[in-house]
Structure 1
């Protein structure tokens, strides 16, 4: 059954592209494909896919450049970077070129499908992009941006993932292992100190007083919870 969602796969590895295309078609997605950056850019602007799965390393134009260019031309739909190394995620953040999210290769096809399905729920159920409001803030996850009283605050991809997970599970105590799985993925080897460091950075962006957090609270010995009833 068709999901009514169009996905563009941009991948120069023919075998991997073939596998992803066929699996997503079997899942009911309308799938387009491109093997290099130039064609990808043209296809994104002409076909306006709902989701772009964009390889980080491409012949011609790199994925980062493609993403940055289409963002400048007004493309606002989801762009998910496919990267070979989890370490590259920090580079993705550093470039800050407008990717919505990322997945690390090699990826488990079931994990990829589950990730896309969770995003599609929000595309299909809402005419507009997913937006979360709390206190005086608005979170726009597709463009990993926060607005506080209309003022724009940029989030890195990892901060965006962490905040989005909390906003989708308000009030729930989330342990560190669950959070690391959601943020870095099933094949990740990050440690809890790395997670805690990202939480500290995120608090600086969302809390009025990061040293005494009212929104993103630590639950000692377990993990964290998001206190959505708290106004900021």
Structure 2
């Protein structure tokens, strides 16, 4: 695992920021940090880290505004939002302001490191500007949260984007519901299969010509799903 990547930690809780930075340094990551949303944009643009760990609730400027500003100024690294409230996740999906992923507080440090390791591994093994193509559609880099279909941009929510990314990395493989839920929602999630199926239905409406008879995202009865490309 290549852990010499730089991570910016933007968190106003000094104790939590200290713990996260200390752990990341012990894992071999380079870190920069700030507790202010107002300072975060300047810090990230100056240091250009591969990943930004960004708190949702910040003084001066909320995390959503920090992320939006960074994207407008051309930052194309990964932004992982740290949030404590479930309703904030709904806002993240709704606003679609350029977050790559999120982690829910309180989080286990081992799980956070595992998440970051997987992101770094993806960055090392993939061109961040790589475009995946299937049918008449293009899926753009992970933080963009969109597909282009017949020249028209279609927005995806964070969860839809994460589901599609996982399928695109596992084309023509049968994926169980349990594996998919673990990948999409994480280790400590209490999400049920009905919630997963609901997101699959919404994703199908965006990528399938006939969502009731899907060509790409097919159900494997009793097991899970398979993505045909």
On whether the aligned pair clears a TM of 0.5, the verdict is: yes
Listed as ranges, the gaps of 5+ residues in structure 1 are none
Specify the alignment match of 2:108 in structure 1.
Answer: 108
Query: Is the alpha carbon distance of 1:65 and 1:86 closer, same or farther for their aligned partners in structure 2, counting shifts above 3 Å?
Result: same
Greater displacement, 119-128 / 27-36: 119-128
Mapped to 2, the partners of 1:181 and 1:18 lie a distance apart of: 28
Q: CA RMSD in A?
A: 1.7
1:173 aligns with 2:174: yes
- Decide whether the 8 Å contact of 1:76 with 1:143 is kept in 2: no
Deviation at 1:129, TM superposition (A): 3.1
Q: 1:152 to 1:142 in 2, by over 3 A?
A: same
CA distance in 2, matches of 1:200, 1:127: 29
Counterpart mapping for 1:81-120 below 5 A: 81-120=81-120
Distance 1:209 1:50, change over 3 A: same
> What SS class does the counterpart of residue 152 from structure 1 fall into?
strand
TM-score by length of 2: 0.93
Report the alpha carbon displacement of residue 103 of structure 1 after superposing the two structures with TM: 0.8
Q: Deviations over 1:2-21 (max 9, x none)?
A: 73311101111111111111
Post-superposition offset of 1:88: 2.5
Tell me if the contact between 1:3 and 1:28 (Cα under 8 Å) persists in the aligned partners: yes
Q: Does 1:17 align with 2:35?
A: no
Moved more, 82-91 or 109-118: 82-91
Write the deviation string for residues 97-118 of structure 1: whole angstroms up to 9, x where unpaired: 1111111111111211111111
Contact kept? 1:180, 1:195, Cα under 8 Å: yes
Distance 1:86 1:223, change over 3 A: farther
Q: Is the contact between residue 3 and residue 117 of structure 2 (CA under 8 Å) also seen in structure 1?
A: no
Aligned equivalents of 1:57 and 1:135: distance in 2? 40
Q: Structure 1-normalised TM-score?
A: 0.92
Pick closer, same or farther for the CA change 1:6–1:84 going to 2, 3 Å: same
